[in-house]
Structure 1
Amino acid sequence: MPETEVRTARPAELETVAALRWRWVAEQDGPPDLDRDEFVREFVAWTRENAATHHCLVLTQDDEVAGMAFLVVTARVPTPRKFRRASGDLQCVYVVPEARGRGLGGLLIDAILRLGAELGLERVTVHSSTRAVPAYRRHGFAADPELLQARPPA
């Protein structure tokens, strides 16, 4: 059985994370229009530029990156009771197809929620595909009638 670990992505792993993101989009929608190498370069630069608000975790098996997830932290408006407030959004949970079906995505979800607790977040939200909703529910996510969303007009 492979040794599995979930941890913060190391700088040297960001190209692998970018390649996972590329692979995921290609799986869902077919090959992207942007050149893969160009995407990897741009993604790595973007990830470094946004590291203060976009926390990247990786799942490794035998020291090979097999999955990723991001926790995006957003500052919230202070209140008289609590000046420093923040919430999080779980994004880009992905496990390579050959490692799926073993609960690895759940390990990433749980690690993101622990990180959110460490950061003192008020809540963590997720926008999920229909297929992944049961996984998020198993790890404590639930619909909230007070959390609404709207798409800006085109």
Structure 2
Amino acid sequence: MSLPAGYLLRRATPADAETIQAQRDAMFVDMGKDPVQLQQVHTAALGWHRRMLQVGLYDGFLLETEGVVVASAGLLWRDWPPSAATIEQTRAYLMNVYVQPPHRGNGLAQFLIEEMLAECALRGVHIVSLHASEAGRPIYERLGFRSNSEMELVLP
């Protein structure tokens, strides 16, 4: 898929952490999360994004139009032990996929995801995981993502 006219793709730098976090906050609000609770974790999450961008464990992909970031997504690089599925020791976690409402329906999310999958291929990473919102699930499924047996427990 090609990038629609008028948009520019660029890599995020630590200076983009605030923009990435603002879009992440908006993503969670769109998913029905409590804005007050999100504000309580905003500063810590902003610091995390800045630090991960600085050390290279998170790569952000930003789409701009007229100098304004209107969509973003990122890859978290995770050190992982070899398993029966692969001997690879790096896996990617796709996260923070967000497109501002006025720019939805232009294929921007799919373009970002395809760019991130190409980055994984360049790095020789073959296992990519994510958590999908209901709105995002059809895009991921079209691109070949499938549910697996992962479970979660949040300890008190």
Amino acid at match of 1:152: L
- SS of the residue corresponding to residue 77 of structure 2 reads strand
Aligned to 1:113: 117
Residues 83, 133 of structure 1: CA spacing in aligned structure 2 closer, same or farther, 3 A cutoff? closer
Residues 6, 108 of structure 1: CA spacing in aligned structure 2 closer, same or farther, 3 A cutoff? same
Which stretches of structure 1, 4 residues or more, deviate above 4 A after TM superposition? Answer: none
Is residue 2:103 matched to residue 1:102? no
Residues 121, 98 of structure 1: CA spacing in aligned structure 2 closer, same or farther, 3 A cutoff? same
CA distance in 2, matches of 1:141, 1:151: 19
Deviation at 1:78, TM superposition (A): 4.7
Asked if the contact 2:12–2:61 (Cα under 8 Å) also holds between the matched residues in 1, the reply is: yes
Between stretches 91-100 and 10-19, larger displacement belongs to 10-19
- SS of the residue corresponding to residue 105 of structure 1 reads helix
Amino acid at match of 2:26: R
Residues 45, 30 of structure 1: CA spacing in aligned structure 2 closer, same or farther, 3 A cutoff? closer
Q: Which runs of 5+ in 1 are unaligned?
A: none
1:134 to 129, 132, 138: 138
- SS of the residue corresponding to residue 33 of structure 1 reads helix
Is residue 2:3 matched to residue 1:8? no
Aligned to 1:47: 49
Amino acid at match of 2:107: G
Equivalent residue pairs, number = 147
CA distance in 2, matches of 1:115, 1:43: 24
Residues 30, 140 of structure 1: CA spacing in aligned structure 2 closer, same or farther, 3 A cutoff? same
Amino acid at match of 1:43: A
Residues 84, 49 of structure 1: CA spacing in aligned structure 2 closer, same or farther, 3 A cutoff? same
CA distance in 1, matches of 2:38, 2:76: 24
Between stretches 96-105 and 124-133, larger displacement belongs to 124-133
Deviation at 1:65, TM superposition (A): 0.4
Between stretches 82-91 and 66-75, larger displacement belongs to 82-91
Asked if the contact 2:14–2:51 (Cα under 8 Å) also holds between the matched residues in 1, the reply is: no
Residues 19, 122 of structure 1: CA spacing in aligned structure 2 closer, same or farther, 3 A cutoff? same
Aligned to 2:151: 150
CA distance in 2, matches of 1:132, 1:34: 20
Deviation at 1:140, TM superposition (A): 2.8
State the superposition RMSD in angstroms. 2.6
Q: Which runs of 5+ in 2 are unaligned?
A: none
Asked if the contact 1:2–1:61 (Cα under 8 Å) also holds between the matched residues in 2, the reply is: no
| TM-score normalised by L of structure 2 | 0.78
Aligned to 1:20: 23
